[in-house]
Amino acid sequence: MVEVLAELQDRTFERATAATARTYPPERRLTPEQLTSYLSRREYAVVGTTRPDGRPHASMSMYIRSGSAFWLPTVDGSVRARNLRTNPWLTMVIAENDDESHIAVIAEGPAELVPLDDLPADLRTAVDQNWPHVWKWVGLWIVLNTERVLSYAAEDAEP
């Protein structure tokens, strides 16, 4: 799992534009172990999708990571679910702190809607253990099949 995220991050940095490399200097990225640890200890992200008319939509979401995939619970009929039916691409930003101690990870890629019954057993167990309240409202799962990963840790950050 560590290798897959690290490989995705390496490929993303290799293809980065000059502007992206200035904003996210490769030397400030999280190591493979830090990336995995950071994403495992976080539970929420800001999620971005695109409305059918092209306008952006952002919202908060819980997530569970499995390898390089992120699984997000949602209400069936939610704006983000409707958006993904038209434009199946999702961006997540997982960030914390400010100034010289901030950390940010951006993950993006194609996303698909997954019925409740198709949630893998290991993820169902994780939800039962960590977020049992989710079952009261979740109607659908979104899986982000990550293709790009960028990370940044400021100088005083503790990933």
Q: What is the CATH number of the domain that holds 135?
A: 2.30.110.10
Closest among 39, 70, 42, 73 to 59, alpha carbons compared: 73
Q: Residue-wise over 127-154: b if at least 16 C-beta within 10 A, else e? A: beeeeeeeeeebebbbbbebebbbbbbe
Report the run of H or E that residue 36 belongs to, with start and end: helix 32-41
What confidence category does residue 2 fall into, taking pLDDT thresholds of 50, 70 and 90?
low
Q: What is the pLDDT of residues 86-129, one digit of tens each?
A: 999 999 999 999 999 999 999 999 999 999 999 999 999 999 99
3-58 per-position pLDDT tens digit: 788 899 999 999 999 999 999 999 999 999 999 999 999 999 999 999 999 999 99
Residue 159 belongs to a domain: no
Domain count, the chain: 1
Residue 1 pLDDT > 80, yes or no?
no
Please tell me what DSSP assigns to residue 100: G
2 vs 69: which has the higher pLDDT: 69
Residue 158: the pLDDT is 87
Range of the domain at 85: 1-153
Residue 95: predicted pLDDT: 97
158 domain-assigned: no
Mean pLDDT, rounded, for 76-94 = 96
